[in-house]
Structure 1
Amino acid sequence: MPDLSEEQHLWQQGYRCVAGLDEVGRGSLAGPVVAAAVVLPIMDHVPAALLDVNDSKQLSAQQRQRLSDEIHQAARGIGVGSVSAADIDAIGIAAATRRAMTQALTQLQDNGIAADYLLIDFLTLALPLPQKGIVKGDCRSLSIAAASIVAKVARDRWLIALHSDYPAYDFQRNKGYGTAAHRQALATVGPCPEHRRSFGGVLQTPLPLPAEHIV
């Protein structure tokens, strides 16, 4: 389970706004990649409300929603950034992921919290801030795990809303990932404007199909 070891080490060095960052949707065939930045208050132990915080992939949708609410209440600051499928196709998923994280930090700063150290799941960013990329960081750092939950809940909410525009793909269930049913829909009706046409799992057609043709 993630804990506060990384954060406490940095707090002891004098850092006061340690932001954990993570992304979701990197491997999806449709929809944006979404990143979150979470700054937790300085504390000597994990509060009871956050004891179940973990890598978002290890939690049910109900657990993620409950914990996202708890994180929003407990955090000093939260920022969320997203990069669209079209931009992912234009710049690539790695650059899009970093852009979403940078947007999350910008939103955090716009909300009055300027991070002075970054703990990032796996990646590092080309920013003039001290930072550490941690392999499987969402399983080790509470801040990163909290960011993974916030980003996952935000992205899932967006894909569920998108389902009404493109019901053929069942986005409300698969959240854009390449399930068998989703791939069958792609083979049958082709991609919609929210699909990542640069991804190998997306059937290529000359033009995206308009929403009114995807039912």
Structure 2
Amino acid sequence: MLCGIDEAGRGPLAGPMVIAGVVLKKQITQLDDSKKLTQKKREELFEEIIKNSIYHIVFKSAKEIDEKGISACIKSSILEIMNNIKAEEYLMDGNTSFGILNLQHKIKADATIKEVSAASILAKVSRDKYMCEIAPKFPNYDFEKHKGYGTKAHVEKIKEFGRCREHRVSFKLKSLNEDNIGIQKSLF
């Protein structure tokens, strides 16, 4: 029995990183890397995966990412998944096992291994839903449109309004001439 693991939201300027682990109980067709699927298809597959798998989804907030770092957040999330899903093998998409024993890794596993594709979809859809749900609380940023990624429009909003509590202050923007000293964070 294989547990596939993948993350969504490693690189955005705002919002959480979401890591999912999945063991499929039944064959599901049309699984693929979440980035290759339409939003509609991802959402359809999300429901099918939830019904036909053992899964665990972990959210790491912008604050946790700023305090602990991306790698530490990924590692603790994988360990949480491994504690909640008992499997014979664990496979993470990417090029590292983060020093975790019994964790295999494979580049592009999200496009080639069905369990990792399913994890990719659960992580992406969960993160996108979260960003849409919080968007009304932070209307200046249009989170529902760019989901916190560093689009030109999002960077312009940060220039105009500063950062909110959903932004990762440890992620510096060259276009704002930011360095690691003196970054101001909006508090609303």
TM-score in terms of structure 2 length: 0.89
Q: Distance in 2 between matches of 1:28 and 1:63?
A: 22
Question: Unaligned regions of 5+ residues in structure 2, if any?
Answer: none
Partner of 2:115 in structure 1? 143
Note the aligned Cα RMSD (angstroms): 1.8
Aligned to 2:140, the other structure's residue is in SS state helix
Partner of 2:132 in structure 1? 160
Q: 2:97 aligns with which of 96, 99, 124?
A: 124
Q: Distance in 2 between matches of 1:174 and 1:206?
A: 23
Query: Is contact 2:24–2:52 with CA below 8 Å preserved after alignment?
Result: yes
Q: Distance in 1 between matches of 2:71 and 2:63?
A: 14
Q: Is 1:94 aligned to 2:71, yes or no?
A: yes
Partner of 1:169 in structure 2? 141
Q: Distance in 1 between matches of 2:187 and 2:170?
A: 18
Q: 1:66 aligns with which of 44, 48, 71?
A: 44
Partner of 1:21 in structure 2? 5
Query: Is contact 2:71–2:98 with CA below 8 Å preserved after alignment?
Result: no
Partner of 1:115 in structure 2? 87
Post-superposition Cα deviations, 1:163-214, rounded to whole Å, max 9, x if no partner, equal 0111111101111001111000001111111111111238567542233xxx
Compare CA radii of gyration and give the structure with the larger one: 1
Query: Is contact 1:22–1:101 with CA below 8 Å preserved after alignment?
Result: no
Q: Distance in 2 between matches of 1:157 and 1:188?
A: 25
Question: How many residues in Structure 1 have an aligned counterpart in Structure 2?
Answer: 182
Question: Unaligned regions of 5+ residues in structure 1, if any?
Answer: 1-16
User: Sequence identity, in percent?
Assistant: 35
Query: Is contact 2:169–2:183 with CA below 8 Å preserved after alignment?
Result: no
